[in-house]
Amino acid sequence: MRSTRTISREFFSSVAAVLLLGLGVVCLCQTALSVAYFSGERRSALTGILDGAAAMSEVLAEDGSTITEPILDETLRDRAEKGLELFNTAAKTLLFVTDEEGNVLIHTGGDVLTGTPVPAKLLDKIRTEGEVFVTGDMDGVFSRKYYVLGRAISTNGSAGYIFAANDMGALGGYVGDMVNMFLLSAALALLVASVLSIVFARRFTGPIEAISEAARKLGSGDFTARAPVTGCSELADFAVTFNNMAARLQTIDNSRGQFMGNIAHELRTPMTTIKGFIDGMLDGTIPEEERPKYLEIVSQETGRLARLVQNMLDITRLEAGEYQVHARSYDLWETVTDVVLSDEQRIEDAKIDIQGLAPSRTMVYADPDLVHQVVYNIVDNAIKFTPPGGVIRFGVTVSGGMVELSIENTGAGISADALPYVFDRFYKEDRSRGLNARGSGLGLHICKVLINLSGGKIRVESEEGKWCRFTFSLPADESKAPVKQVAEPSAPSQKH
């Protein structure tokens, strides 16, 4: 199932999430700092108020009164409450006094105090620390939340506690305002993020959509499709990579078409010849006494077809990397001598002079079968294109851990225009000595693949009308050899 999620949506979601998370963290931090600030500021203010209110105990003490007396004496209670009320009016601070058990004796809180005694654990803490600052309703003492500062007092031998409290409603209002500001800021931020995400997403998605369109064309068989190299460096690199891939696929497609055309041509020519001669013999066009001659031609063309098919199989396996190189150290001259001796009759018939065949032990690290195939193909072509009385010359040199074998022959040579294409599949040039019109155009290409597989290189040099030289290199020892392949099919055919 195709996903409906787009880059624009993903980009907006990411930006929105980051903004909301950031604003949320700021809101939480600001709230925590505000609570700490409010608490510190309230404690400082309440401390000053308690210092002033403590003087009330001295006023009572001048008449010999104690902490518990105002609750019993109406005159004293009125005087104490009026004194404490001054703090409530001036600083909007609630004050109340309790006895040792926490019972409220005097207060200025109206109906805020519920009549519940101050918790014993809080009184114990005041006795231990001398002063306590708490927030909340003090376990039911207040009907709503307060900042509360309490300390112990004593008058004429009677102990008690005095408390000052400020309503926490201001903090709640501040937090509420902060939440409203956060929601407004979040809405504005999301609006701005939406606009920016659309703008930036188009900048990102434009090149991607262009690459996607080019990919769709490429997938439908249009190998000329290319993506524009625009956008940020990553997208530009992506487009360049895509275009390189498309160019490579176009080259492969062109090569495949050319390859199929060459195969069709190479197969059609001998098959047409074979069919023509056989039809001629069947309908009596070719006299019976001449049939052996034409059957010989048919046999040659059949052999040519067999070699062409085998060559194509060899190339397919070689280029797929399916051959395992069974490399070992051996004398290169053994291969050269074997090939020359196997073609001795052809060399004598063509009156060709062989030079440089003076074997001196030269060790290489390679697969003897693959090297034999290369030497055979080159020598076979040299014999074909060396004129009667001509020369085929061999030479071996060792340099830099590599051994080079050169095979040179006199004759028409190869034109300068044809030299770059000699090792291409199915390439032929009538004037070249590398392949003739009756060859398959695959022999030298196979040579190149086999030498590369062996860890060496092959090249060709020629002076048109005079000579041509093929030179290939092989590792002199195992340290220069390439990594071996893993598959192990049969060896390539020996005649091309």
102-131 pLDDT tens trace: 888 877 766 778 888 889 899 889 888 888
Average the pLDDT over 6-11 and give the result: 71
CATH class entry, domain 323-480? alpha beta
User: How far, rounded to the nearest angstrom, does the alpha carbon of residue 68 sit from its chain's CA centroid?
Assistant: 82
492, pLDDT greater than 50: no
Q: Is 483 helix (H, G, I), strand (E, B) or coil?
A: coil
Among residues 412, 414, 346, the alpha carbon closest in space to that of 379 is found at 346
Q: pLDDT confidence of 79, banded at 50, 70, 90?
A: low
Average the pLDDT over 234-246 and give the result: 86
Among residues 103, 112, 117, the alpha carbon closest in space to that of 145 is found at 112
Among residues 136, 441, 193, 429, the alpha carbon closest in space to that of 315 is found at 441
Q: pLDDT confidence of 364, banded at 50, 70, 90?
A: very high
Tens digits of per-residue pLDDT, 24-62?
888 788 788 888 888 888 888 888 888 877 665 555 545
Q: What pLDDT score was predicted for residue 27?
A: 79
**Six token digits for residue 316:** 């397919």
Tens digits of per-residue pLDDT, 213-223?
888 888 888 88
Superfamily of segment(s) 7-172: PAS domain (3.30.450.20)
- Asked if residue 138 lies in contact with residue 168, where contact means CB atoms within 8 angstroms, the answer is no
Q: pLDDT confidence of 230, banded at 50, 70, 90?
A: confident
**Six token digits for residue 145:** 């939340």
Which of residues 91 and 148 earns the better pLDDT score?
148
- Asked if residue 235 lies in contact with residue 212, where contact means CB atoms within 8 angstroms, the answer is no
pLDDT averaged over the chain? Answer: 78
> What size, in residues, is the chain?
496
Q: What are the two backbone dihedrals, phi and then psi, of residue 99, each rounded to the nearest 5 degrees?
A: -85, -170
Tens digits of per-residue pLDDT, 319-355?
666 667 788 999 999 999 989 988 888 899 889 999 9
Question: Of all residues in the chain, what percent carry a pLDDT higher than 90?
Answer: 14
Least confident of 8-17, 72-81, 138-147, 277-286: 72-81
Q: pLDDT confidence of 458, banded at 50, 70, 90?
A: very high
Q: Pairing state of beta strands 467-475 and 104-107?
A: unpaired
Average the pLDDT over 256-283 and give the result: 77
CATH of domain 233-317: 1.10.287.130
Least confident of 9-13, 386-390, 475-479: 9-13
Q: What pLDDT score was predicted for residue 491?
A: 42
Q: What pLDDT score was predicted for residue 29?
A: 85
Q: Pairing state of beta strands 328-331 and 158-167?
A: unpaired
Q: CB neighbours of 117 closer than 8 A, spacing ≥ 6?
A: 98, 101, 102, 103, 104, 141
**7-172 matches 323-480 in fold:** no
- Asked if residue 446 lies in contact with residue 314, where contact means CB atoms within 8 angstroms, the answer is yes
Q: CB neighbours of 27 closer than 8 A, spacing ≥ 6?
A: 178, 179, 182
User: How far, rounded to the nearest angstrom, does the alpha carbon of residue 99 sit from its chain's CA centroid?
Assistant: 76
Type of residue at 87:
F
Average the pLDDT over 252-275 and give the result: 73
Q: What pLDDT score was predicted for residue 472?
A: 95
Instruction: State the DSSP code for 490.
Output: P
Q: pLDDT confidence of 142, banded at 50, 70, 90?
A: confident
Q: Pairing state of beta strands 353-355 and 391-399?
A: parallel
Q: What pLDDT score was predicted for residue 80?
A: 59
Which of residues 134 and 301 earns the better pLDDT score?
134
Q: What are the two backbone dihedrals, phi and then psi, of residue 478, each rounded to the nearest 5 degrees?
A: -65, -25
d(CA 151, CA 123) in angstroms, rounded, equals: 9
Tens digits of per-residue pLDDT, 272-327?
888 888 888 888 888 888 888 888 888 878 877 887 777 677 767 766 666 677 88
Q: What pLDDT score was predicted for residue 352?
A: 92
Q: Any idea which residue has 């998605």 for tokens?
A: 205
Q: pLDDT confidence of 72, banded at 50, 70, 90?
A: very low
Q: What pLDDT score was predicted for residue 433?
A: 38
d(CA 494, CA 496) in angstroms, rounded, equals: 7
Q: What pLDDT score was predicted for residue 199?
A: 78
Q: pLDDT confidence of 186, banded at 50, 70, 90?
A: confident
Average the pLDDT over 262-278 and give the result: 77
Average the pLDDT over 134-163 and give the result: 83
Question: Of all residues in the chain, what percent carry a pLDDT higher than 70?
Answer: 79
94, pLDDT greater than 60: yes
Q: What pLDDT score was predicted for residue 336?
A: 92
Q: pLDDT confidence of 427, banded at 50, 70, 90?
A: low
Type of residue at 474:
L
Average the pLDDT over 441-445 and give the result: 75
366, pLDDT greater than 70: yes
Which of residues 191 and 457 earns the better pLDDT score?
457
Q: Where are the domains of the chain?
A: 7-172, 233-317, 323-480
Q: pLDDT confidence of 460, banded at 50, 70, 90?
A: very high
Q: What pLDDT score was predicted for residue 459?
A: 93
481, pLDDT greater than 50: yes
CA angle 166, 169, 175 (to 5 degrees): 130
Q: What pLDDT score was predicted for residue 387?
A: 92
Q: What is the rounded end-to-end Cα distance, in angstroms, of the chain?
A: 53
